[in-house]
C-alpha cells in the first residue's frame, strides 16, 4: 500500500506544479525576499501618507499612489536600488503613473485575494482641441503612453494596466477660417512588462486621431491614429482579461491614417483574449498594419488580427464604400499579423 501511495504522488506532482495551472512561480532575480527591510515601503489601511517612513512597518503609507511616488523617488536617490511596496489586507484605489515605472520598484502582499492595488494608468494626455479662429485652429497632438515594468511574486492583485496613447485634439470648425483645419495625431502607446502578477487586463493601444475641422476650403485632414505598444507577460494570471496592443484609428472625417498594432509576447501565463489589430483610416487614409503575438506555454481564449481593419472590420477595410452610407475607409490592404504559439487553447 505504501508503494502505491508513492506512485500516485509522483503522477500528480507535475500537474500540481505546472506553470499553466498553479500560481505563478517566483522567478524574480534576485528574489523579492532578498530585499532588506530598510528598502520596504509598507502600505496599510490604517496608514498615513504624510507620516510614513521607509523601512518602518509601524508607519505605513495609506495609498499605493503615495507609496509608488515615494518608492520611485527613493530608488532614484539611492542609485536605483530595489524598493519593495508591500501591502497588507488592503483594497487599493489604483495608481496613476507620474513617470515611467522601472523594474527596481517591486510589489508584494499577503496574497491576491487579500492585497489589491487596483488599476494602474499611464495613458497619454489628450491633444488640445482647436480653440478659436485667432489663437489655435488645428487640433493638438496627443501624448504617448508611459512605460511600466512591474515585478511581483504572485502575492498581489492588480487591476487593469493601461498605457494607451492619448486622443488627438479635434480641429476648430469655422467656415470663415482661410484654408483647412486639421485634427491632431493620436499618441503612441507605451510598453507593459509584467512578471508574476495577477492582473485584470492590459491595454497598450494607440490613441485615436482627432477629427479635422471645417474651414473655408472644406474639411481638414483627420489626425493619424497612434501605434500600439509592446506587452510582455511572464508567469502572469488572469483567466478572462484582455491583452490588447492594437493601433488607434484616425479621426472620422477625411483622410487620416490608422495606427499599426504593436507586439505581444506571453510566456507561461493564463489570459483571455489577445488582440493586435491594425486600425482603419478614413476617406483614403491607409490602414495600420496588424501586430505580432508570440504565446509560449500559455492558456488563452482567443487571438485576433483584423488585417488592418481595426474595430470597424465589419464596415471598412479595403477601399469599399458601404451601402448604408458608412464613410469610405482605408485605401489599401494592410499587412496581416503573425502568430507564433506553443500553447494550450481551451
Domain ranges of the chain: 35-91+99-109, 122-314+325-346
pLDDT at 59 over 50: yes
Q: Which of 5-19, 127-141, 208-222, 310-324 has the lowest mean pLDDT?
A: 5-19
Q: Among candidates 276, 275, 268, which has minimal Cα distance to 299? A: 268
| Three-state SS at 142 | coil
The per-residue pLDDT for 134 is: 61
Taking CA atoms, 89 is separated from 31, 63, 157, in Å, by: 22, 12, 11
Higher-pLDDT residue of 177 and 144 is 144
pLDDT higher than 90, residue 213? no
Cell numbers given for 332: 489599401
Q: How confident is the model at residue 175 (pLDDT cuts 50, 70, 90)?
A: low
pLDDT above 90 for 26: no
What is residue 156's predicted lDDT score, i.e. its pLDDT?
93
Query: Could you read off the pLDDT of 222-265 as tens digits, one per residue?
Result: 899 999 999 999 999 986 789 999 999 988 777 888 999 999 99
The pLDDT value given to residue 133: 59
Q: How many CB atoms lie within 10 A of CB 65?
A: 21
Greater pLDDT, 171 or 231: 231
Residue 67's Cβ-side half-sphere holds a number of Cα atoms within 13 Å equal to 34
pTM of the model: 0.81
**pLDDT of the residue at 281:** 83
Question: Considering only CA atoms, which of 322, 227, 324 is closest in space to residue 283?
Answer: 322
Spatial separation of the C-alpha atoms in residues 158 and 199, rounded to whole Å:
5
Average confidence (pLDDT) over 103-116: 92
Whether pLDDT at 208 is above 70: yes
The verdict on whether omega for the bond into residue 332 sits within 30 degrees of 0, i.e. cis, is no
Residue-wise pLDDT for 283-335, tens only, equals 778 888 888 888 888 887 877 766 444 333 322 333 333 333 333 333 333 34
Amino acid at each position: 500500500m505504501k508503494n502505491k501511495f508513492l506512485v500516485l504522488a509522483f503522477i500528480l506532482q507535475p500537474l500540481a506544479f505546472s506553470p499553466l495551472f498553479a500560481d505563478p512561480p517566483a522567478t524574480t532575480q534576485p528574489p523579492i525576499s532578498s530585499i532588506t527591510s530598510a528598502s520596504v515601503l509598507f502600505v496599510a489601511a490604517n496608514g498615513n501618507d504624510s507620516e510614513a517612513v521607509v523601512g518602518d512597518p509601524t508607519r505605513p503609507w495609506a495609498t499605493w499612489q503615495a507609496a509608488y511616488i515615494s518608492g520611485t523617488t527613493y530608488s532614484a536617490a539611492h542609485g536605483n536600488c530595489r524598493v519593495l511596496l508591500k501591502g497588507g489586507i488592503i483594497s487599493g484605489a489604483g495608481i496613476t503613473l507620474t513617470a515611467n515605472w522601472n523594474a527596481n520598484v517591486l510589489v508584494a502582499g499577503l496574497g491576491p485575494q487579500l492585497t489589491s492595488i487596483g488599476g494602474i494608468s499611464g495613458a497619454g494626455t489628450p491633444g488640445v482641441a482647436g480653440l478659436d479662429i485667432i489663437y489655435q485652429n488645428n487640433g493638438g497632438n496627443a501624448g504617448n503612453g508611459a512605460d511600466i515594468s512591474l515585478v511581483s511574486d504572485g502575492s498581489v492583485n492588480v487591476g487593469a494596466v493601461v498605457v494607451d496613447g492619448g486622443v488627438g485634439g479635434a480641429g476648430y470648425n469655422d467656415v470663415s477660417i482661410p484654408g483647412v483645419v486639421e485634427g491632431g495625431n493620436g499618441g503612441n502607446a507605451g510598453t507593459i512588462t509584467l512578471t508574476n502578477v495577477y492582473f485584470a487586463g492590459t491595454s497598450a493601444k494607440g490613441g485615436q486621431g482627432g477629427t479635422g475641422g471645417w474651414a473655408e476650403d472644406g474639411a481638414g485632414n483627420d489626425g493619424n491614429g497612434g501605434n500600439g505598444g509592446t506587452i510582455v507577460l511572464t508567469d502572469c494570471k488572469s483567466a478572462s482579461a484582455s491583452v490588447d496592443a492594437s493601433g488607434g484609428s484616425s479621426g472620422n472625417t477625411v483622410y487620416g491614417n490608422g495606427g499599426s498594432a504593436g507586439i505581444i509576447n506571453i510566456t507561461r501565463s493564463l489570459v483571455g483574449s489577445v488582440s493586435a489589430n491594425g486600425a482603419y483610416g478614413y476617406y483614403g487614409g491607409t490602414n495600420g498594419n496588424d501586430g505580432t503575438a508570440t504565446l509560449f506555454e500559455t492558456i488563452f481564449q482567443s487571438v485576433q488580427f483584423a488585417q488592418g481593419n481595426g474595430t470597424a472590420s465589419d464596415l471598412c477595410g479595403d477601399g469599399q464604400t458601404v451601402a448604408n452610407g458608412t464613410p469610405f475607409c482605408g485605401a489599401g490592404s494592410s499587412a496581416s499579423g503573425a502568430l507564433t504559439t506553443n500553447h494550450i487553447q481551451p
